[in-house]
Every structure is written in structure tokens, then in C-alpha cells.
Amino acid sequence: MNAPFPPYIDVSKEATLSIEIVPIFVSSTWLDLQPERQAVETALQRLREVKFNGMEYFGSRDETTRGTSLAEVDHSRVYVGIIGGRYGSGITEDEYRRARTLKLPCFIYFKREADIPASGRDATPEAAAKLAAFKADLQRNHIITEFASPAELATKVTADLHRWLVDQYLTPKLTQAAQHELPREQARALLAAIKDESGLNPALLSAARNVVTASGAGSVAIGGNVQNSTIITGDNHNTNNRPTGDVIYGNKTVIHKSPLPLALALIAAALVIGLSAYAYWRGNGGEELYRVRVTVTNPQGVPTEEAKVWSSLGGEAKKVAGGWQFDIPAASKPQDGKLTIFASFENAFLTGQTDLTLDKDFNPALTIKLTRDTSARLRGQVTDAQGRAVAGARVFIVGYEAETITTATGGNFELPAHAAVGQYVEVVAEKPGQGVGRLNHQAGDVPVRLVLRKD
């Protein structure tokens, strides 16, 4: 089976690359983990080269549910197991056993015990005992990842599949390209399609690029040692192991033992070696980078890409599969390692933030759940129709009458708007005998004037 294309590969028609869609089988009990399944499905739908496979798509079939599930495992490439507080009918364990028989890569996720409600647990001691034995077996055979919410699970599944696709597809292909085992046109198309280099070995990427450089006017590639240099210029003209270091230009003119071309060859070779060494140094701790992956969800926990994302350390967030990424040089991290990532969806007045400590994990992933911004306040003055300040008037935001305040001398007031800055709220002022004032006004620093009028 051909390897898949990762989510950071451009699969446009111009790339002329054949794409294999990788089926991912998602296994779990049904009644207690539907939100988690939905979050994972939404995340996987944004990875164009993988396909969510699960009971949601079984449709109407004559086979038993267990038989259908096992048949779908047979047609999958990766197994994702989500384990909560129920053992259920045992189909989840059967699916896992089938995946192990097929030697599929297995990614296992446990819902944290503290986050499992009573309604999400088995009702009988027998089922609870089976679940405990199943989880113990999973822990013996796999590295277990815990999650607390559907959004956190989706983030972790996406990050794990990202790494798996890098290891299983892109790194082997780049190795083939660097070792001249991949046709040059395929290697060139592959390199042109890469849009996100995070997770790749810089030295390997540089070596693959050096191989495909020799094409077109003015391009140069060098191979062999100093005594057996090969220089290619122009349109793929090549010399192989010429003992005297001869040079062939695009017009196929041969110059034997020319000091200037030989000097140029030595300089170019030194540049290639120097750049490769620098790339290797960077990829092996010379300038380590924290690659912080961020997923943003709406208040319902569904991932969204309609957000603005920034960090306390500055730097631009770049779009990657499933969200955003910050590349932070290790040398620039604060002394305490503290980093805060912020997100907002201004049109919907939603905000959120998450704190992170940069430590030994250079590829952390985090989730920010957006919530309504209710931090703004509303201030102003109550007057009568003649513009005179009114003390003793009651003022409140519609919907929050329990927080009514009374104006002091001068008619001034300030109260929580339960809204974001710039968001409109309805504010009311009233005083027996002097009338009522009502107005829709933006929350924030712009003061409001409420005029009491009698009906």
C-alpha cells in the first residue's frame, strides 16, 4: 500500500501527485462518548488525506453490528481507541483485538476518571471488571494519552496523526529523494507541495532539495569528492565522475582543467557542505524551536478556524492543519518558561486564553475554548428632560435586573454590562414621579446619558 500524503502537503492539481485517502477507524462505546466521536470526526474531516471510519457510517446492512465493525477494521489503516467509563457490549474490545491481529498502528485515549459522570459508567460490577481488565491490557501494550474534554481529545488525535504521517510518509520519501532513489520530477513535485515544514529534519530536507536543484538555466548541483566533482548547469547536462574535474555548461562546452571553474566548484561544494552542516546543527539542538500547536473551539467545543490567535511572546501564528502554530526559539523563552496563548472571535464577541510552561516537550499541543466576553462595564449619567442630574434613580441592564444600582448625587452610575466592549446592551433608568429612560448603547468607555421622561 502506498503511503499517504500528510495534511501539510499541497494536493492541488499542479502538484500532479496521486493521493491515497487513509481510513482511520475510530472505536469506542456509543452512548457515553458521542461528543468525543463528533469532535474527532470534525477534526479528521479537515485532514484531506484521512477518512473517519466508524459506526456513524455503517448504514443499513444485513450483517450484525459486531460483524460490520470488524469488517470496517479490516479496511482501515489506523486504529483510534477512545475509552471512557463503559465496557458496553464488548464490541470495542473486539475491534481492538482485530486491529492488533492486523498489526495496525493503535492510538489509545482514556477519558480522565475525574471527568467521567456517573451516567457514563457501567451499571454492573461484571461490566466494570471487564472494563478494568481491558484498560490494564491496553496500558501494558501502548502509551496511553488522557483527555478531559472532546476538544482536548480532538487536538491530541490530530497531533498524533500529524506525527505518524510525517514518520510514515514524508520522511521516507525525502530520504529516497536525498539518495537519488526517487525520480527527479517526483522529488521536485513533492518538495514544491510541502507547505508546513514543522516536524521535518532540516538536514534531510536540505539534502533532498540539493538533489533536485540541477534543472533550468543557472542552476548548479555538485556531487562526488573534490577530485571527482560533478557540476551540472543549464538544462540537466551532467558529467559523472570525470577524473579531472571537467565542467560542462548548458551549451555542452567542455573546459579541461580550467582553474576558474575548478575554483568555483570548490567554493560551491564548500557552500553545500556548510549549509548542510548548518541545517543539521539547527535540527539537532543548535537552535531548538518550540513548535506550539493551537486548536480553538467555539463554546460548544467544536473546533473553529474563524479566530484571531496571538501569544504573550509575540510572533506570528501560522496556519497549519487543524489550527495554528507558533515557532518559538528556545533562547527567547522567558526565564520561568511561562507562555500565554490568546484567541478571539471579534464578530461573535468570544474570547479565550490558555497558559503553558515551555519545558522539555518541544512540540506541545493545546486547546483554547472560546467563551462569551462579559468583561465590559457601562457608565453614564441620568438626567431629566431639562438636563438636570437625577439622584436616586434605579439603573439596570435588561436581563440583569437583580444587579440594579441607584444613582448618587450628580446622577452618575457604573455597572457590569455583561457584554464585550463594543457590544450593544439595553440599559434602563427609572424614578417614580420623574419617568423612565431606555436606550441601546455600546458597552465600554463611551458614557451613556439616560433622560427620564414621563409617559
pLDDT tens digits, one per residue of 155-189: 898 888 878 877 776 788 788 888 888 787 777 77
Topology of domain 289-372 in CATH is Immunoglobulin-like (2.60.40)
pLDDT exceeds 70 at position 264: no
Residues in CB range of 355: below 8 A, 6 or more apart: 338, 339, 340
pLDDT greater at residue 390 or residue 54: 390
Task: Give me 369's grid cell.
Answer: 475554548
User: What span, in angstroms and rounded, lies between the C-alpha atoms of 319 and 314?
Assistant: 16
Which residue is it, cell 520530477?
185
Lowest mean pLDDT among 13-22, 25-34, 109-118: 13-22
Which pLDDT score, from 0 to 100, does residue 332 have? 84
Which pLDDT score, from 0 to 100, does residue 426 have? 94
Lowest mean pLDDT among 1-10, 192-201, 315-324, 358-367: 1-10
* Matching CATH number, 377-451, of 1.25.40.10, 3.40.109.10, 2.60.40.1120, 1.10.510.10: 2.60.40.1120
pLDDT exceeds 60 at position 150: yes
In the chain, residues under CATH classification 2.60.40.1120 are 289-372, 377-451
Which pLDDT score, from 0 to 100, does residue 183 have? 81
Per-residue pLDDT tens over the stretch 380-436: 999 999 999 999 999 999 999 999 999 988 999 999 999 888 888 999 999 999 999
Give the confidence band of 282 by pLDDT, cuts at 50, 70, 90.
very low
Task: Give me 147's grid cell.
Answer: 483527555
Give the confidence band of 21 by pLDDT, cuts at 50, 70, 90.
low
Hey, which of 170-174, 230-234, 318-322, 339-343 has the most confident mean pLDDT?
339-343
Which pLDDT score, from 0 to 100, does residue 422 have? 86
pLDDT exceeds 50 at position 5: no
User: What span, in angstroms and rounded, lies between the C-alpha atoms of 112 and 85?
Assistant: 9
User: What span, in angstroms and rounded, lies between the C-alpha atoms of 174 and 202?
Assistant: 11
Give the confidence band of 195 by pLDDT, cuts at 50, 70, 90.
low
User: What span, in angstroms and rounded, lies between the C-alpha atoms of 431 and 424?
Assistant: 23
pLDDT greater at residue 272 or residue 198: 198
Give the confidence band of 125 by pLDDT, cuts at 50, 70, 90.
very high
Residues in CB range of 153: below 8 A, 6 or more apart: 36, 39, 40, 82, 109, 111, 147
Give the confidence band of 355 by pLDDT, cuts at 50, 70, 90.
very high
Give the confidence band of 216 by pLDDT, cuts at 50, 70, 90.
very low
CB under 8 A, 24+ apart: contacts of 351-354? 351/420, 352/296
User: What span, in angstroms and rounded, lies between the C-alpha atoms of 107 and 145?
Assistant: 8
Per-residue pLDDT tens over the stretch 295-306: 888 888 888 888
pLDDT exceeds 80 at position 294: yes
Say what percent of the chain tops pLDDT 70. 72
Task: Give me 288's grid cell.
Answer: 531548538
Single pTM value for the model: 0.44
pLDDT greater at residue 47 or residue 5: 47
* Backbone dihedral angles phi then psi of residue 327, each to the nearest 5 degrees: -100, 110
Helix 150-165 crosses helix 34-45 at what angle (to 10 degrees)?
Answer: 40
- 3-class SS string, the chain: CCCCCCCCECCCHHHCCCCCCEEEEEECCCCCCHHHHHHHHHHHHCCCCEEEECHHHCCCCCCCHHHHHHHHHHCCCEEEEEECECCCCCHHHHHHHHHHHCCCCEEEEEECHHHCCHHHECCCHHHHHHHHHHHHHHHHHCCEEEECCHHHHHHHHHHHHHHHHHHHHHHHHHHHHHCCCCCHHHHHHHHHHECCCCCCCHHHHHHHHHHHCCCCCCCCEEECCCCCCEEECCCCCCCCCCCCCCEECCCCCEECCCHHHHHHHHHHHHHHHHHHHHHHHHHHHHCCEEEEEEEEECCCCCECCCCEEEECCCCCCEEECCEEEEEEEHHHCCCCCEEEEEEEEHHHCEEEEEEEECCCCCCCEEEEECEECCCCEEEEEEECCCCCECCCCEEEECCCHHHCEECCCCCEEEEECCCCCCCEEEEEEEECCCEEEEEEEECCCCCEEEECECC
Find the mean pLDDT for residues 195-208. Answer: 73
CATH 3.40.50.10140 fits 13-166, yes or no: yes
Which pLDDT score, from 0 to 100, does residue 213 have? 65
In the chain, residues under CATH classification 3.40.50.10140 are 13-166
Q: Hey, how many other C-beta atoms are within 10 angstroms of the C-beta on 63?
A: 11
Which pLDDT score, from 0 to 100, does residue 314 have? 81
Per-residue pLDDT tens over the stretch 240-256: 444 344 443 333 433 34
pLDDT exceeds 70 at position 140: yes
Helix 184-193 crosses helix 202-212 at what angle (to 10 degrees)?
Answer: 130
User: What span, in angstroms and rounded, lies between the C-alpha atoms of 347 and 327?
Assistant: 27
Give the confidence band of 199 by pLDDT, cuts at 50, 70, 90.
low
Which pLDDT score, from 0 to 100, does residue 50 have? 53
Find the mean pLDDT for residues 329-341. Answer: 88
Mean pLDDT of the chain: 76
